[in-house]
Amino acid sequence: MSSPPATHYAPADVTQKLPPVADTPTGVDLSDQATARRASEESRAQGSHAAPVAPEEFAPGGDAEDLPTPGTDTAAAGTDTAAAAAATVHTRSAEATETAGPPLQRTPDLAAMARSRPRRVRARTRQQAVRRNATVTGRILVSVACVMALVGTGFVWGYLNSKNGNWRNIIAVNPDDTNIRNKNAQYGDENYLIVGTDTRNGQNGDVGAGTSADVEGARSDTVILVNIPADRSRVVAVSFPRDLQVDRPECRQWDNDKDSYGAALDAETQVKLNSVYALGGPQCLVRVITEMSGLNINHFIAMDFEGFEKVVNAVGGVEVCSTQPIYDYELGQILRKPGKQKLTGRRALNYVRARMVSTEGNGDYGRIKRQQLFMSSLLRSSLSSNVLTNPTKLNSIVNTFINYSVVDNVNTDSLLKLAESMQGIEAGRVTFITLPTSGTATDGSNNELPNTDAINRIFNAIIDDRPLPGEQAEKTRTSSSGRPSTTTPAAPTKVAATAQNPGNVSLRVLNGSGRSGIASEVSDQMSAQGFDVQGVADASENRTDTVIRYGIGSEDSAATVAEMFPGALIQLDRTVRDGVEVILGSTFDGSVGTAPAVGTTLSTSSLPPAANTSNLPNDLAITNAGDTTCS
């Protein structure tokens, strides 16, 4: 059978059904060649309308570059030969047409693209890639810079916070202690009991502390109770004398080497404060201080000699000022010359430890005063040099605390938050107070007897946030004109009094002049004339004039004493419980007159009653951190 000429169709816009097979007088041409041609025509009918294509261009075995992407099977004739031909075409043709449904997407002319566009497309892509890569790289660099800036800012804090688990924690504080007074008034307050121990273990023997063979265990060489009220408006630090007489409750024995508690420890009365820590450890000491102060002690820190030395070195040293050289009989020469000088390491440690300084003559109280001055200078240095914003110093300080201290309820995060809440506080709002005592025990123990009445008044004022002596005002008050307001003191008035017998007048001499040793000199002169001198101390305030303060019913006694100090005034002060108090001012020249004859009528100048809103005694030993006076 001869094959009729095949009918060719112009390509359509989209893939269509297989073209109909033309009826011929002899029937449908199902030869291999005709079937292959029809399948090829269907696959190529996807370009724009054009003239019929020559049959040989679509012959099987043509240029593969001109063939579309292989697709699904095409329709084939029913014979075995036609099926084979259709399978061959399938590997080189596009997807066959469904019998019904939407037209398929146009297939691109790959051959034309390969001949006419590659160079132009590649050139434009390269330029676009350069611009795009520059933009993306710039954005990445900016993002990295931002991330690095955040990391750089937060690294130290995150690093320090990660050290929270490295602290040596022990059991010390007890929020349920029944000795806590007016607990609601203390809500939000932070109370730190800070202890400097004199352990001789480890490297502490290398800093002049001796060895554990000399003295076993650890005593509380320094005890300071720090109150920070909820509004963070001030800081009050109360120093406790190491020889203060206290009653130790029943506790558990403390092993300082292992930082652990052991068997029960029986209660004992009239012991030294520093022995409480040595035998009963942090928990027992906190109980004793809580009973005495009534404060809710919620943090505890104990650090040894070596740790203190390293902290001072970490902050770059501390400047101190002394009016005279300091020599200690146990520690040797500490300051070889007077004046301002910066102390680091060993010298700083000896400066705060020394209590055998003959030129001071007041043992532990001289040491407490030096410690307060040292800490005041340390505070001013920290505030001025921005230690808290110096990552290197801050990291070194925190590491030192972690390595050389034991704590309870203290971690890096809480310390940083506390420091942040206190940003901007002035040194003048930090006050150090020495716990008042009322003499020394006469039983040979040399225990310092606590002045219970004055102690209660101090801590009641702290709990109630009342002003303290020597505390600088938080803000300078201004008048309506915008200038600082001034209060004109009331003029003294003349009062008549009767001179008393010196033996009936008890008194205390307080030094408010700023000159050391003058109160003792006056005490000796008053005693020589028969007055009952109860003791000497520093005054809570420095004055220029000399004033004789008295309690109710002691006006005549005050006038008798005032007669011996030219220009002295008398003043009623309800905080004076017994006798009179002589407060020496800076204008006092050191000379004391003769007591007036008993029964003589005296005319004395009297100031208005003292306004002591905190009800505190006049003889508190006060150190203000903002005071840079060289002493």
pLDDT, mean over the chain:
75
> 43 or 433, which is more confident?
433
pLDDT in tens, 156-185: 555 556 666 688 899 999 999 999 999 999
Residues 347 and 445 in one domain: yes
pLDDT at 171: 94
Res. 363 pLDDT band, cuts 50 70 90: low
**From CA 358, how far away is CA 329, in angstroms rounded?**
8
Residue 30's CB: how many other CB atoms inside 10 A? 16
Note whether 45 and 17 are within 8 A (CB).
no
CATH of the domain at 320: 3.40.630.190
Note whether 550 and 576 are within 8 A (CB).
yes
Residues 225 and 359 in one domain: yes
Q: Among the three residues 411, 442, 463, which one is the final residue of a domain in this structure?
A: 463
Strands 569-572 and 547-550: parallel
Q: Can you read off the two tokens belonging to residue 313?
A: 């070195």
Q: Among the three residues 103, 133, 162, which one is the final residue of a domain in this structure?
A: 162
Instruction: Show Cβ contacts of residue 135 under 8 Å, excluding neighbours closer than 6 positions.
Output: none
Range of the domain at 47: 32-114
Residue 435 lies in a domain: yes
Residues 44 and 70 in one domain: yes
Residue 8 lies in a domain: no
Residues 232 and 280 in one domain: yes
Residues 78 and 135 in one domain: no
pLDDT at 309: 86
Going from the C-alpha of 416 to that of each of 156, 394, 421, the distances in angstroms are 11, 10, 9
Residue 79 lies in a domain: yes
pLDDT in tens, 267-308: 999 999 999 999 999 999 999 999 999 999 999 999 887 878
Please give the radius of gyration of the chain, using alpha carbons only, rounded to the nearest integer.
48
**Is a pLDDT exceeding 70 seen at residue 404?**
yes
Residue 12 lies in a domain: no
Residue 382 lies in a domain: yes
Which strands make up the sheet holding 532-538, listed edge to edge? 493-498, 601-607, 569-572, 547-550, 580-584, 506-511, 532-538
Residues 128 and 110 in one domain: no
Residues 236 and 382 in one domain: yes
pLDDT in tens, 223-281: 999 999 999 999 999 999 989 999 999 999 999 888 899 999 999 999 999 999 999 99
Candidates 170, 161, 164; CA nearest to 193 is: 170
pLDDT in tens, 186-232: 999 999 999 988 643 444 444 444 444 444 445 567 899 999 999 99
Q: Which residue has the tokens 């688990």?
A: 165
CATH of the domain at 529: 3.30.70.2390
SS3 87: helix
pTM of the predicted structure, to 2 decimals = 0.66
Instruction: Show Cβ contacts of residue 391 under 8 Å, excluding neighbours closer than 6 positions.
Output: 155, 156
Residues 502 and 425 in one domain: no
**From CA 627, how far away is CA 419, in angstroms rounded?**
22
The one-character DSSP state at 224 is: E
Residues 148 and 246 in one domain: no
Strands 448-450 and 437-440: antiparallel
pLDDT in tens, 69-92: 444 444 444 444 444 444 444 444
Residues 223 and 90 in one domain: no
Residue 174 lies in a domain: no
pLDDT at 62: 43
**From CA 224, how far away is CA 536, in angstroms rounded?**
23
**From CA 153, how far away is CA 620, in angstroms rounded?**
45
pLDDT at 31: 61
Residue 356 lies in a domain: yes
> 597 or 36, which is more confident?
597
**From CA 498, how far away is CA 554, in angstroms rounded?**
11
pLDDT in tens, 475-523: 544 334 444 444 456 688 999 999 999 999 999 999 998 887 899 899 9
Residues 207 and 325 in one domain: yes
Number of domains composing the chain: 4
Residues 223 and 371 in one domain: yes
Res. 143 pLDDT band, cuts 50 70 90: very low
Residue 13 lies in a domain: no
**From CA 429, how far away is CA 415, in angstroms rounded?**
19
Q: Which residue has the tokens 């002899």?
A: 26
Q: Which of 122-126, 347-351, 424-428 has the highest mean pLDDT?
A: 347-351
Q: Which of 91-105, 468-482, 488-502, 589-603 has the highest mean pLDDT?
A: 589-603
pLDDT at 483: 43
Q: Can you read off the two tokens belonging to residue 526?
A: 């008053």
Q: Can you read off the two tokens belonging to residue 555?
A: 């006006």
SS3 241: coil
Note whether 512 and 543 are within 8 A (CB).
yes
